[in-house]
Amino acid sequence: MIYEGKAITVKEIEGGFAQLDFDLTGESVNKFNQLTIGELGEAAEALEKQKKLKGLVVTSSKDTFIVGADITEFTELFAGPEEDLVNNSLKANRIFNSIEDLPFPTVTAINGQALGGGFEMCLSTDFRVMDEKAKVGLPEVKLGIFPGFGGTVRLSRLIGADNAIEWICMGGEQKADKALKAHAVDAVVKSDQLVDAAVDILKEANSGKLDYQARREEKTGKLKLNSMESMMVFETSKGYVAGQSGPNYPSPVEAVKVMQKHAGMTRDKAVEVEAKGFAKMAKTGTAASLVQIFLNDQDLKKKAKDYEKQANQVKMAAVLGAGIMGGGIAYQSALKGTPIMMKDINRDGIKLGLDEAKKQLSKRVEKGKMSADQMGDVLNNIHPTLNYGDFGDVDLVVEAVVENPKVKDSVLRETEDVIGEDKILTSNTSTISIDRLAKNLKRPENFCGMHFFNPVHMMPLVEVIRGEKTSDKAVATTVAYARAMGKSPIVVNDCPGFLVNRILFPYFGGFARLVRDGADFQKVDKVMEKFGWPMGPAYLLDVVGMDTAKHANEVMAEGFPDRMKDEHKSAIDVMFEKDRLGQKSDVGFYQYKLDKKGKQQKVVDESTYDLLKPVVHNSQEFTDDEIIERMMIPLCIETVRCLEDNIVGTAAEADMGLVYGIGFPPFRGGALRYIDDIGLDAFCQMADKYKDLGPLYHPTDGMREMAKAGKKFHG
């Protein structure tokens, strides 16, 4: 044995070669935590001393190669001084360089996912052989940073600046065939041939058939571009990348700038440039929020997995109602492999639901994500029906009929009579209390809410709503089914609006008050979009539909009259009265016209201002900051109330509900993270400026106590 650690072992193998194997003790995957990096340094030192070795093959004993850095270490690491981050990066780079500089040829056998630092490890060896099913990539931009272990240097020299920009700035995972085509790897083989193929490469390097020194020089030298080519590639990319990522996500553009800056340098100088750029990005609020979101997501997955242990298996599901939501639920279930019955009361409804599924599947076929045969298989997994004939075989039912309590009551009761006694019944209601619906059921313990978001195939969140009598088994089975559908479930307790709508409607309340005081709705939209929302509040109301919004508003006002009841007629009421329902009626705050591709495009409609005149009582001018504060304060305070009222269990779940359910700007990390960033004390002071606007703007006592104690929601 040449070296033995807790994450890495190095031993001699046949032919005078050595094998460095990653196998992190006590973990299901390999990752580059501080321990592994330290051991890699020690292993490199041990290898340098082996004068007789003819080559090194790097392998992994896990199913994946190395999934990347250990992100749980980032929060603490990134909180330190920028200088320490630079030094840390350079220290790690010296270790990667020492692997690259070993006095014999080196090759990595990539058996599974090699991402981030894991792929940077592969890049430090002379050659790479890849399992045909493995994937490689540098996804660091998704965390607001870019590669910091020499990835921007080696990859740009290996596959060319244009390809490296695409791989690094988009952060995607690359399949073996694409990696081979780009020359990121030297061979792609079946898994059982991987190590043999790697050893063959070492033999060829020893015999002189392959020039490993030349490969090394290629990676450690300057980028082979003349100044004209360099300018063309980097300058044009900067504009394109900036357009794709937007101003709130600076790391992709910074990655291009760094690659441009070190293009004319050899490795040791180039990694210094990378390290400085990396540290600068690690210190941004965007990186802090995106890392938090990653960790929150891990937390959600862990909770869901715990539920799954108690879950019944859902082999066959059913959805009642083949409308917008029912059709989407059927499509998603079938796509992810759970067959589903889709019941409606009329044939037209069924046709609409199936047509929607066909439309989504055809798009996948067009994009090459699925074959026509696979599309057929998915469609065969949707069983349309007009009666309850086969419901005896169903494990879980999602009710998604019209939002009418009487209709829902009768449909749920009918269904309860035809499914097995231990089967789970759920409702996709947006506004009706789960406890209220449960009152009519014989087995309320088997009933809970399963609230999807529109469009179902795009929105990751599913709220699983636990009623007073809901059993753990019902929650667990619903969570497991949501996960099987590829969704991120969050378990919440019952209340009007559940978690997400209860928080969204105070935000709309903020909008209504702004319009009343004279704000231009278009300006509000622009400011909130610049703040990071995918769409401003007026546009969002057009998408939700004014009828739905008005109805939900009434439910919220009844549930929380102290703060959500508003005696004034609002902009939403006006639009509703004028039948301007939004996108569904082609006009709301904006008009919607079909473009050449048949997509609805938003067009400014000046007549909206005349219609709104009766509800505009003031003519205040607002700065951008005032608009942001007046919109965000009610949303943030209501999020805190949901946590205080135990509607949601943790700050992580509350924030993820907003990011996954309504597109809260991820780079801000969620409402509670946003308050943490402002500071609770400063947030309360900011809210106090608006106290005359009513209780929606009044921080809770709990917030003031936390502020006094200097507490935060996260960490």
Helices (H) and strands (E) in the chain, counts: 31, 20
Which long-range contacts link 226-230 to residues 24+ away (Cβ below 8 Å)?
A: 230/161, 230/260, 230/263, 230/264
Q: Which residues pair with 174 in a beta bridge?
A: 136
Minimum gap (Å) between residue 133 Cβ and ligand NAD: 37
Confirm or reject binding of residue 35 to ligand NAD (CB under 6 A): no
Confirm or reject binding of residue 285 to ligand NAD (CB under 6 A): no
Q: How many residues bind ligand NAD, per CB under 6 A?
A: 23
87 residue type, one letter: N
Residues of this chain, 162-191, that bind ligand NAD according to CB under 6 A: none
Minimum gap (Å) between residue 583 Cβ and ligand NAD: 11
* Stretch of 226-234, 321-329, 372-380, 570-578 contacting ligand NAD, by CB under 6 A: 321-329
| Binding test (CB under 6 A) with ligand NAD, winner from 320, 581, 587, 643 | 320
d(CA 637, CA 506): 9
Q: Could you tell me whether strands 461-466 and 447-452 are parallel, antiparallel, or unpaired per DSSP bridges?
A: antiparallel
Residue 452 vs 560, nearer CB to ligand NAD: 452
| Binding test (CB under 6 A) with ligand NAD, winner from 115, 121, 198, 322 | 322
Residue 324 vs 628, nearer CB to ligand NAD: 324
* Stretch of 315-323, 607-615, 639-647, 650-658 contacting ligand NAD, by CB under 6 A: 315-323
Residue 324 vs 365, nearer CB to ligand NAD: 324
Minimum gap (Å) between residue 410 Cβ and ligand NAD: 7
Confirm or reject binding of residue 324 to ligand NAD (CB under 6 A): yes
d(CA 195, CA 114): 16
| Binding test (CB under 6 A) with ligand NAD, winner from 291, 401, 515, 656 | 401
* Stretch of 193-201, 300-308, 400-408, 648-656 contacting ligand NAD, by CB under 6 A: 400-408
Confirm or reject binding of residue 482 to ligand NAD (CB under 6 A): no
d(CA 113, CA 63): 8
The token duo for 482 is 């949501």
Residue 318 vs 636, nearer CB to ligand NAD: 318
Residue 124 vs 429, nearer CB to ligand NAD: 429
Where does 545-691 have alpha helices with state H? Answer: 546-559, 561-564, 571-577, 607-612, 624-644, 651-662, 671-678, 680-688
The token duo for 425 is 């019944």
Confirm or reject binding of residue 345 to ligand NAD (CB under 6 A): yes
* Stretch of 105-113, 318-326, 577-585, 681-689 contacting ligand NAD, by CB under 6 A: 318-326
Q: At what angle do helices 624-644 and 671-678 cross, to 10 degrees?
A: 120
Q: Which residue has the tokens 């231009």?
A: 520
| Binding test (CB under 6 A) with ligand NAD, winner from 20, 411, 476, 642 | 411
Q: Distance of CA 244 to CAs 34, 248, 259, 340, Å?
A: 33, 11, 18, 37
The SS3 call for residue 463 is strand
Confirm or reject binding of residue 342 to ligand NAD (CB under 6 A): no
CA 126 to chain centre: 34
Minimum gap (Å) between residue 419 Cβ and ligand NAD: 14
Q: Distance of CA 499 to CAs 87, 287, 299, 451, Å?
A: 43, 26, 18, 10
Q: DSSP states of 388-431 as a string?
A: -TTGGG-SEEEE---S-HHHHHHHHHHHHHHS-TT-EEEE--SS
Minimum gap (Å) between residue 11 Cβ and ligand NAD: 57
**550-572: buried (b, 16+ CB within 10 Å) or exposed (e) per residue?**
bebbebbbebbeebbbbeeebbb
Residues of this chain, 413-432, that bind ligand NAD according to CB under 6 A: 428-430
Residue 2 vs 432, nearer CB to ligand NAD: 432
Residues 6+ apart with CB under 8 A from 111: 59, 60, 63, 64, 65, 131, 134, 191, 194
Residue 53 vs 544, nearer CB to ligand NAD: 544
Confirm or reject binding of residue 325 to ligand NAD (CB under 6 A): yes
DSSP assignment, residue 265? Answer: S
Catalytic residue set? 451
* Stretch of 208-216, 345-353, 600-608, 637-645 contacting ligand NAD, by CB under 6 A: 345-353
Confirm or reject binding of residue 502 to ligand NAD (CB under 6 A): no
Minimum gap (Å) between residue 447 Cβ and ligand NAD: 15
Q: Point out the residue whose Cβ comes nearest to ligand NAD.
A: 323
Residue 300 vs 462, nearer CB to ligand NAD: 462
DSSP E strands, 428-487: 447-452, 461-466
Residue 79 vs 402, nearer CB to ligand NAD: 402
The phi-psi region of residue 17 (left if phi > 0; otherwise alpha if psi is between -120 and 50; otherwise beta) is beta
| Binding test (CB under 6 A) with ligand NAD, winner from 346, 371, 607, 685 | 346
CA atoms within 13 A on the CB side of 203: 9
Minimum gap (Å) between residue 548 Cβ and ligand NAD: 6
Minimum gap (Å) between residue 563 Cβ and ligand NAD: 23
Minimum gap (Å) between residue 130 Cβ and ligand NAD: 43
The token duo for 696 is 């929606």
| Binding test (CB under 6 A) with ligand NAD, winner from 280, 343, 516, 563 | 343
Residue 401 vs 707, nearer CB to ligand NAD: 401
Which long-range contacts link 663-666 to residues 24+ away (Cβ below 8 Å)?
A: 663/533, 663/534, 663/535, 664/533, 665/248, 665/531, 665/532, 665/533, 666/289, 666/290, 666/293
Minimum gap (Å) between residue 295 Cβ and ligand NAD: 28
Residues of this chain, 348-367, that bind ligand NAD according to CB under 6 A: 349
Q: Which residues pair with 69 in a beta bridge?
A: 32
Minimum gap (Å) between residue 164 Cβ and ligand NAD: 41
| Binding test (CB under 6 A) with ligand NAD, winner from 123, 158, 400, 448 | 400
Confirm or reject binding of residue 403 to ligand NAD (CB under 6 A): yes
Minimum gap (Å) between residue 430 Cβ and ligand NAD: 4
| Binding test (CB under 6 A) with ligand NAD, winner from 79, 231, 402, 458 | 402
Where does 55-187 have alpha helices with state H? Answer: 74-79, 82-100, 117-124, 151-159, 161-170, 176-181
Residue 77 vs 459, nearer CB to ligand NAD: 459
Residues 6+ apart with CB under 8 A from 663: 533, 534, 535
Length of the chain as a residue count: 715
Sign of CA dihedral 341, 342, 345, 351: negative
Confirm or reject binding of residue 490 to ligand NAD (CB under 6 A): no
Residues of this chain, 444-473, that bind ligand NAD according to CB under 6 A: 452, 454
Residue 141 vs 320, nearer CB to ligand NAD: 320
Confirm or reject binding of residue 323 to ligand NAD (CB under 6 A): yes
Residue 323 vs 649, nearer CB to ligand NAD: 323
* Stretch of 222-230, 343-351, 509-517, 519-527 contacting ligand NAD, by CB under 6 A: 343-351
Chain residues that interact with ligand NAD, rule: CB under 6 A: 320-326, 343-346, 349, 400-403, 407, 411, 428-430, 452, 454
